[in-house]
């Protein structure tokens, strides 16, 4: 049954009941936004041809609208991308420039950019609240402290049981203990296995059914984890995706029970590519005297490498130091010309800004597909890959394209939206909720049935 947003909508609700297959123009629709980390468009579009059993995801192609592919942001990493998905702007605007915080001397102990306070613009959660809608979240990146009525944010520190206490403390007060009374222990924050996704999906469904939020975000991560470990399209990655498809079916069914007039959108943050080799990008900066190492740790730096997997932001401690700037520019030119570093191209500051990358960097290095930045400064060149699958490469490449699927009353059926920009997704969902996201750099997609 449709939620009663206000007594003024009773007339509209009566009309909607007479035509249950269509949403009324201007009437808010509840939205469930589900992210499958690392889901490639072809995983769904070509599932049957490739022998993948994905009935719940494939149903979106017939029952709703979908993008052929989604061009993401720079870098094609989880946290910058998810913040774009929830704001409609690029990392240069929203401020989440990588997965980890910029921390060249590791004082933050590999801390990720968990905190919503670092997002510089309003989110879809904020927009929904401003429109008078209730909100919920399960495990969405950069959600600690977000303005969400029922929030189970993503955060971890050590992987020990204390992490669950940390999640409980940073969730909506009393929420996690109340859910655990019915469902048992919540997954550890660092658990990125299929079992972890199954656990959190159970909590998401219970939250949806008991609190009935009108805008809800949910995130599953096991596909990304498996593709890093074994590579994309491997037997174990395929099995993991088929397991996630079952969870999608459960979430969609719950959403339809709770909000028959609601919309479900499936998104992903980036694609994936197989990796052949690690590239030690730290050693040249150390050798050039731009980074100081003592006992294997960085103690000082003039120019730092901010590792983004298939790319790297180069950050100057003093961007106004002309001597250091010239030295770094010459080093990058030398590395780009050396075939053993497998650099696709180097963006200067103006090019970086034009592509919406982080405002902290002075250059941005894009690696060729198949090569990733290593994680230790003393690794040989070449070195075996520490991951067999990676992202973070140029968002223009086909391998990095991501996914958008949407279905529900009033959504066009079987409509291919073509190639879209990731920044288009948030304003599309805002429009369905009759909410405002004025800062969005994208535009609302034509997903609604034409009158």
Same-domain check for residues 235 and 364: no
430 neighbors 87 (Cβ within 8 angstroms): no
Q: What CATH number is given to the structural domain containing 169?
A: 3.40.720.10
Start-to-end Cα distance in the chain: 24
Nearest to 441 by CA among 130, 39, 83: 83
Shared-domain flag, residues 331 and 228 = no
> For the sheet containing 135-138, what is the strand order?
150-152, 135-138, 215-220, 31-36, 263-267, 404-407, 64-66, 415-416
Asked whether residue 285 falls in the same domain as residue 265, the answer is no
Q: Do 107 and 115 form a contact (C-beta atoms < 8 A)?
A: no
User: What band does 22 get if pLDDT is binned at 50, 70 and 90?
Assistant: very low
**Which of 40, 39, 58, 56 is CA-nearest to residue 48?**
58
Q: What is the pLDDT of residue 217?
A: 99
Same domain, 287 and 366: yes
Is 40 found in the same domain as 89? yes
Q: What percent of the chain shows pLDDT beyond 90?
A: 89
Contact 442, 423 (CB under 8 A): yes
Whole-number pLDDT of residue 296? 81
Which DSSP symbol is given to 158? Answer: S
Whether residue 451 is contained in a domain is answered as: no
The residues, ordered by sequence, that sit 6+ positions from 287 with a Cβ below 8 Å of its Cβ are none
- For the domain that residue 315 is a member of, what is the CATH number? 3.30.1360
Please say whether the beta carbons of 24 and 15 come within 8 A. Answer: yes
User: Is this structure's pTM higher than 0.85?
Assistant: yes
Q: Is residue 261 part of a domain?
A: yes
In a domain, 295, yes or no: yes
Q: What is the pLDDT of residue 261?
A: 97
On whether both 296 and 148 belong to a single domain, the answer is: no
Q: Residue 192: name the closest of 166, 165, 225 by CA.
A: 225
DSSP characters over 128-153: HHHTT--EEEES-SS-BT-S-SEEE-
Q: Is residue 445 part of a domain?
A: no
Same domain? 98 vs 235 = yes
Determine what percent of the chain is predicted with pLDDT higher than 70.
94
Cβ 88 vs Cβ 440: under 8 Å: yes
pLDDT, mean of residues 253-257: 98
CB within 8 A of 288, min separation 6: which ones? 327, 331
Instruction: Judge whether 19 and 31 are in contact, CB under 8 Å.
Output: no
In whole angstroms, give the CA distance from residue 212 to residue 155: 24
d(CA 109, CA 270): 26
- The pLDDT of residue 20 is above 70: no
| Phi, psi for residue 50 in degrees, rounded to 5 | -90, 5
The average pLDDT across 340-358 equals: 98
Instruction: Answer whether residue 14 shows pLDDT above 50.
Output: no
Quick one: tokens of 262? 């609601």
Asked whether residue 107 is assigned to any structural domain, the reply reads: yes
Sign of CA dihedral 94, 166, 267, 386: positive
Please indicate, yes or no, if residue 1 is contained in any of the structural domains: no
In a domain, 12, yes or no: no
- Say whether both 166 and 303 belong to one domain: no
Predicted local confidence at residue 21, as pLDDT: 36
Look up the domain containing 286 and give its range. Answer: 277-386
> Is 317:301 a contact under the CB 8 Å cutoff?
yes
CA–CA distance, 140 with 368 (Å, rounded to integer): 29
DSSP single-letter state for residue 89? S
Instruction: Give dist(CA 432, CA 407) in Å, integer.
Output: 12
Burial class (CB within 10 angstroms; exposed 0-12, middle 13-18, buried 19+) of 68: middle
Question: Nearest Cα to 69, choosing from 382, 434, 419?
Answer: 419
Tens digit of each residue's pLDDT (9 = 90 or more) over 142-185: 999 999 999 999 999 988 889 999 999 999 999 999 999 999 99
CA distance 58 to 91: 31
Contact between 275 and 388 (Cβ < 8 Å): yes
260-300 residue pLDDT tens: 999 999 999 999 999 999 999 999 999 999 999 988 889 99
**Domain co-membership, 308 together with 166:** no
Handedness of CA 361, 363, 369, 373 (dihedral sign): negative
- Last residue of one domain, picked from the residues 386, 418, 442: 386
| Residues 121 and 145 placed together within one structural domain of the fold | yes
40 lies in the same domain as 186? yes
What is the total count of domains within the chain?
2
Of the candidate ranges 21-35, 166-180, 405-419, the one whose mean pLDDT is the lowest:
21-35
* Together in a domain, 68 and 144: yes
Apex 219 CA angle, 161 and 409, nearest 5: 145
Separation between Cα atoms, residue 160 and residue 224, nearest integer Å: 22
Whether residue 426 lies inside any domain: the answer is yes
């Amino acid at each position: 049954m449709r939620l009663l947003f206000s007594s003024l909508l009773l007339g509209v609700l009566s009309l909607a009941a007479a035509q249950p297959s269509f949403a009324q123009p201007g009437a808010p629709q509840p939205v469930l936004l589900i992210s499958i980390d690392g889901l490639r468009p072809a995983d769904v579009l070509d599932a049957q041809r490739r022998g993948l059993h994905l009935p719940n995801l494939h149903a979106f192609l017939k029952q709703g609208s979908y993008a052929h592919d989604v061009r993401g942001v720079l870098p094609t990493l989880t946290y910058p991308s998810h913040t774009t998905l929830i704001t409609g702007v690029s990392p240069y605007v929203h401020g989440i420039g990588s997965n980890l915080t910029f921390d060249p001397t590791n004082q933050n102990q590999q801390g990720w950019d968990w905190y919503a306070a670092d997002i510089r613009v309003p989110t879809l959660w904020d927009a929904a609240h401003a429109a008078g809608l209730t909100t919920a979240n399960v495990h969405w990146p950069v959600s600690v402290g977000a303005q969400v009525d029922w929030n189970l944010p993503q955060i971890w520190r050590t992987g020990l049981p204390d992490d669950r206490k940390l999640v409980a403390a940073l969730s909506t007060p009393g929420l996690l203990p109340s859910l655990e009374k019915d469902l048992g222990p919540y997954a550890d924050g660092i658990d990125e296995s299929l079992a972890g996704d199954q656990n959190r999906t159970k909590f998401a469904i219970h939250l949806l059914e008991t609190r009935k939020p009108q805008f809800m975000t949910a995130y599953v991560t096991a596909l990304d984890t498996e593709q890093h470990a074994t590579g994309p399209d491997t037997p174990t990655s395929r099995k993991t995706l088929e397991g996630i498809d079952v969870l999608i079916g459960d979430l969609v069914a719950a959403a339809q029970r709770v909000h028959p007039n609601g919309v479900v959108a499936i998104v992903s943050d980036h694609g994936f590519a197989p990796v052949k080799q690690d590239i030690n990008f730290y050693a040249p900066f150390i050798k050039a005297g731009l980074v100081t190492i003592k006992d294997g740790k960085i103690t000082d730096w003039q120019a730092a490498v901010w590792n983004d997997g298939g790319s790297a932001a180069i950050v100057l401690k003093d961007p106004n130091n002309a001597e250091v700037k010239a030295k770094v520019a010459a080093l990058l030119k030398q590395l780009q010309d050396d075939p053993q570093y497998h650099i696709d191209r180097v963006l200067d500051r103006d090019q970086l800004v034009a592509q919406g990358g982080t405002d902290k960097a002075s250059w941005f290095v894009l690696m060729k597909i198949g090569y990733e930045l290593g994680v230790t400064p003393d690794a040989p060149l070449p070195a075996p890959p520490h991951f067999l699958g990676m992202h973070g490469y140029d968002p223009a490449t086909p391998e990095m394209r991501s996914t958008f699927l949407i279905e529900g009353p009033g959504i066009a059926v079987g409509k291919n939206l073509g190639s879209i920009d990731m920044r288009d997704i948030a304003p599309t969902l805002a429009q369905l909720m009759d909410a405002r996201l004025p800062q969005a750099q994208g535009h609302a997609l034509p997903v609604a049935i034409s009158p």
